[in-house]
Structure 1
Amino acid sequence: MADHTEEKKPAVKTAKARRKPEDAAQGSIGAMGDLSGLLADPTPASVAQTGDGKASEIAMELIEEDPHQPRIYFDQASLEELAATIAIRGVKTPISIRPNPEREGYFIINHGARRYRASGIAGKTTIPAFVDGDYTESDQVIENLQRDALTAREIAEYIGRELAKKVKKGDIAKAIGKSPAYVTQHATLLDLPDPIAEIFQSERCRDVTLINELVGLYKKHPEGVTDWLADDEQEITRGTVRLLKEFLNSGSGEGEGEDDGDTPPAEPAAPKEKEEKEPDPDKLKKAIVTVEHDGRPGRLILNRRPSREGASWMKYDDDGSEFEAELADVRLISVIEG
């Protein structure tokens, strides 16, 4: 505890020293009294925050989280990822703290609670910090609201630079506290097919998972994906990409079924004659009935028997969940080619 006591006194004196220029500027007699007290114990303010602008290492046990901070939920997996990087590289961005008015020599976190928690997980006993007594709850909200996380494109470009240096994907993953799959997924963004690269770079779609799904679809159905993305009004969501995948795969499957069916060898021309016939524009090859239920888009499941008359099974487009509902509660949107 002797080491902690040595850190504690300078930090408290630093907080006092921060108030003196203001009092002196006001020319108050009370300020002179404070200055006299400071001269009685001339501890340099640079101990808690060095003169070259660098933060000091403060004992973790002297720091407490602010019970009124706006951030309430902390993702445990994210904290453990951060802890892994801290264990290797330490905390590179100091946290901000202020003196605890109720416990002399202790501090309260202004911002940096995630780094503080992750440092604890990493087994750190000290953390770099700046002392800032002029900090309010509004400042905490602003700091969280205005923090811009790295975009997927920026992450991909960083990974690309590391790969260009011949750094292995596993080592990149370890350095940034992510899984090798995460690195591979973002590395895919470096060499996208032109139609998909266009929607990604224009930020029409920023979901890395969706981009990778579209890449997989493009490899099998390049024309279908290109035509689908060419519609600028087409919304790109998990639900719509799932519908596109089902549509493209079902169309491909039907073609294979006609070519590879149980047609007797003696009549090989029959399937070809069917393929050469002009399609009937008034007939739907595969009908999809789109509906709306509780304000959410979906479709009727036509091959599943309902439990009662007046009901039907349906499937939501946004999350793929299936349910049975009264047809009276469903709004018919359209009947389209599937």
Structure 2
Amino acid sequence: MNTVTPIKPKAGKSSLGLENMGDLSSLLDAPIAADGTPSLLQLDLIDEDPGQPRKEKNKGYSKEKMEELENSIKARGVKTPISVRKNPNSPGRYIINHGARRVRASRNLGLKTIPYVLDEDYTRLDQIVENLQREDLNAMEIATIIGFALKEGIKKKDIAIAMGKSNTFVTMHTTLLDLPDYMSEIYHSGRCSDVTLIYELTMVGKKHPDELKEWLQDETMEEITRVPVKLFREYLAKKYVEKASGDNDVDNNSESQNNDNQGLDSIKEKGEKQDDPTKFKKAIIKVYHNKRDARLLVNRRPQSEGYAWLKYDDGGYVVEVDLREVSLIAVIEG
């Protein structure tokens, strides 16, 4: 591999005499110079963050992607400084906040230094936001970092705001951290990588695990997509509605004679009530959320103000959402 000349700041004599300090000058927390040249840090003083959300299997670390980055650096240098913080366990060394790929590529090219900025006020949440904006994290990596943030006491809604995502997005991704074995196999095998579908199927599995396991064993369904999931949920809904209806028929037959005998007496006692045309007997609030039709569940208490429970029309699963993400469509007779 060809050796590339390290990036050097423009020449200029410092009034502090730093030019006589050699490599030690790179350890100072110096700001960007007046001429716009960023400070440089020796690559051999930089450690990768063991909690870095990007894992080795991430496609950003693939041979092809790394070669692309190396070619870019070879031609133009490292244009965007990396961000580092001091390593609390190794004085004089630094941990990468973001820029691990640039560090690896620079080392592969034989560079000795790299442009940097020092940021001590850097959290795990900052790290995932930075990665989401710059690179393609996979769903499990996103879920892992969200999980770390939750363990540190950060609330879901604060994570969602920092990421610029919905509360539902955070909830669905955290589901990946605690999947039952059969669902974990579906996700990691690649049969289903859609986080929304994984979440929906996991919710189905809580109520109907046996039916779900049997359905997932269908070997003709190599990839699980939205259409078959929707059909499966409709099948379950119909199956259990019919079962409930059959149970009610048995009870109704045993009581029908008694009800017939009491019918006239009941009418006489209560009198005939006239329906008020200005009022609903039962109101249904139709809403639109996440590109799907749903109804608002007014009898289910949300965990905090500004949130509510919805039941989607295309499958019936229930989720708590931020009301700012919901559009009111109609109020109809139930």
TM-score band by shorter chain is 0.3 to 0.5
> Structure 1 length as normaliser, TM-score?
0.37
> Structure 2 length as normaliser, TM-score?
0.37
